[in-house]
Amino acid sequence: TCYLSGFGNELSSEDPRCPGALPEGQNSPQVCPYGLYAEQLSGSAFTCPRPANKRSWFYRILPSVKHKPFTAVPSGNLTENWNEVEPDPNQLRWLPFTIPKSTEKKGLHTVCGAGDAKSRNGIGIHMYTCNTSMVDRCFNNSDGDFLIVPQQGEILITTEFGKMMVEPNEICVIQQGMRFSVDVFGETRGYILEVYGAHFELPDLGPIGANGLANPRDFLCPVAWYEDRKVATGYTVINKYQGKLFACQQDFSPFNVVAWHGNYTPYKYNLKNFMVINCVAFDHADPSIFTVLTAKSTRPGVAIADFVIFPPRWGVADHTFRPPYYHRNCMSEFMGLIHGHYEAKEEGFQPGGASLHSMMTPHGPDAECFEKNSTAELKPERVAEGTMAFMFESSFSMAVTKWGLQTCQRLDKSYYQCWEPLRSHFNPNWKPSKP
């Protein structure tokens, strides 16, 4: 599959079957080339400052307005009700989420979240589990952006902009209002971070300089591809709107965009391209140095959500406890594991599972990790080789859904026991060693 390169770039693409489909010199001519319709997709208010202004123009066979009325459909385990169950401030860990059999409920399952889609401020964290592709169906999120993290099974995402193949160890972002359909090739599972009211952007680099972390050139956008396909039995558009699902019918494929241009696109990124920065002297640097993407709040330096990874890297810090430190955080930390073993908890935290350390809930290395790394010989070593863990970190105090706490039946109620063996090493007679 071919892609266009760059993050937030002004891009254009034509399906090669229709050369010259993009109008010259204007967006909305009286008659578009090939008899197409011009349609704008706005990802920001018209009057946003230029650096934040997001929009794209489609040139399509039929406009998206041609559909029957939307009607409510069951939302399953997808929810924005953060008051289903009482709050739970405990450290939470989930065993790998179950992928359903062909006859069981599949799709999106909300684990936790906060805020409100109506007021355009908040987040939702979902698991997707499925084993069948979407046939003559597409999804449209009117509430916010989806950051999708495949964990098992590659997914082929068809969008109005073109196609993207996304494999485990890659991520993709489908921004608000973009219609997409997913093909899978067997049992498939992954994580979704949804943000309302902000778009993901690259974090500022500050004194790091002009290069580093996720470099813009490594983000890939699809190239134009269309199908002119009538669907006599009806094509279903699923719309997530104000936390609920609605469906409408139309008699044609929505993937009928022959050409497009703009800076509001879906995109994907391979996590192996992340340029890792780490401590090379002493102490454990804060995990913000591993931020791939951020959705900023209105408060400087405070994110609605950050997407952070813990990639393979070198650990070389001298006279330092190298794993993550013990921590209480004013942010909420949801972690997932794509593959491998997370360094601070090599047992129990499994690929396809998750953990949530809520606002000000203590967390840190388990007892085995502490004992081993307090006495380890400190020589240069590879950390997280063959592993990719990640974190959705948010300034929101997230509520866990009934599905997350009860229905999924994957909550590991023995999680707290990994810290039980921690013992006191306090010695009131300790004296500093002589130089």
Question: Tokens for 60?
Answer: 């399509």
Q: Is 138 left (phi over 0), alpha (psi -120 to 50) or beta?
A: beta
| 194 phi and psi angles, rounded to 5 deg | -110, 130
Residue 360 lies in a domain: yes
- Residue-range definition of the domain harbouring residue 107: 3-9+67-255+265-271
CA 59 from chain centre, in angstroms, equals: 29
117 and 239 in a single domain? The answer is yes
The whole-angstrom separation of Cα 166 and Cα 148 is 9
239, 271, 303: which is the final residue of a domain?
Answer: 271
Closest among 391, 392, 373 to 315, alpha carbons compared: 373
Do 199 and 129 belong to one domain? yes
Q: Is residue 148 located within the same domain as residue 287?
A: no
327 is in an annotated binding site: yes
- 132 & 228 share domain: yes
**Is residue 27, in this structure, part of any structural domain at all?**
no
**Residue 98 is assigned to a structural domain of this protein:** yes
Can you give the pTM of this predicted structure?
Answer: 0.97
In a domain, 48, yes or no: no
Instruction: Output the six-digit token pair for 386.
Output: 């063959």
Given a contact cutoff of 8 angstroms between Cβ atoms, the answer to whether 258 and 224 are in contact is yes
Residue spans of the chain under pLDDT 70: 103-106, 343-347
CA distance 259 to 14: 4
Q: How far apart are CA 4 and CA 219, in angstroms?
A: 8
Calculate the dihedral angle through the C-alpha atoms of 201, 133, 260, 218, rounding to the nearest 10 degrees: 40
* pLDDT of the residue at 103: 59
Q: State whether 167 and 225 are in the same domain.
A: yes
DSSP class of residue 207 equals G
Active-site residue, 284 included:
yes
**HSE value, Cβ hemisphere, 13 Å, CA-based, for 36:** 27
In total, how many domains does the chain have?
A: 2
Which pLDDT does position 341 carry in this prediction?
A: 84
57 falls within a domain: no
Residues 75 and 142 in one domain: yes
Same domain (yes/no): 97, 141: yes
Helix (H, G, I), strand (E, B) or coil at 367: helix
Confirm or deny that 319 is annotated as ligand binding: no
Confirm whether 314 is domain-assigned: yes
165 and 119 both lie in a single domain: yes
The Cα 314–Cα 323 span in angstroms is 12
DSSP H or E run through 253: none
Q: Is 55 part of a structural domain of the chain?
A: no
Query: In this structure, are residues 223 and 13 in contact, taking their beta carbons and an 8 Å threshold?
Result: yes
Taking only the tens place, the pLDDT of each residue in 266-291 is: 999 999 999 999 999 999 999 999 99
Q: Is 342 annotated as a binding-site member?
A: yes
77 and 121 belong to one structural domain = yes
Check residue 106 and give its pLDDT: 67
Q: Does 109 carry a binding-site annotation?
A: no
CATH of the domain at 286: 2.60.120.10
- Selecting among 261, 284, 341, 425, the annotated active-site residue is 284
Between the CA of residue 354 and those of 38, 46, 235, 272, 341, what are the distances in Å?
A: 43, 39, 35, 21, 12
> Degrees (nearest 5) of the Cα angle 367, 369, 375?
105
**How many Cα atoms are found within 13 Å in the side-chain-facing hemisphere of 388?**
19
d(CA 354, CA 91): 11
* 44: in domain: no
**Residue 181 and residue 73 share a domain:** yes
**250 and 297 both lie in a single domain:** no
Same domain, 313 and 184: no
Instruction: Assess contact for 187 and 98: CB atoms under 8 A.
Output: no
Count the neighbouring beta carbons within 10 Å of the beta carbon of residue 435. 3
Question: What is the DSSP track for 135-184?
Answer: SSEEEEESS-EEEEEEEES-EEEEETTEEEEE-TTEEEEE-TT--EEEEE
Helix H or strand E encompassing 261: strand 257-262
Which residues does 272 contact at the CB level (< 8 Å), separation at least 6? 169, 311
Residue 395: in which H helix or E strand, if any?
A: none
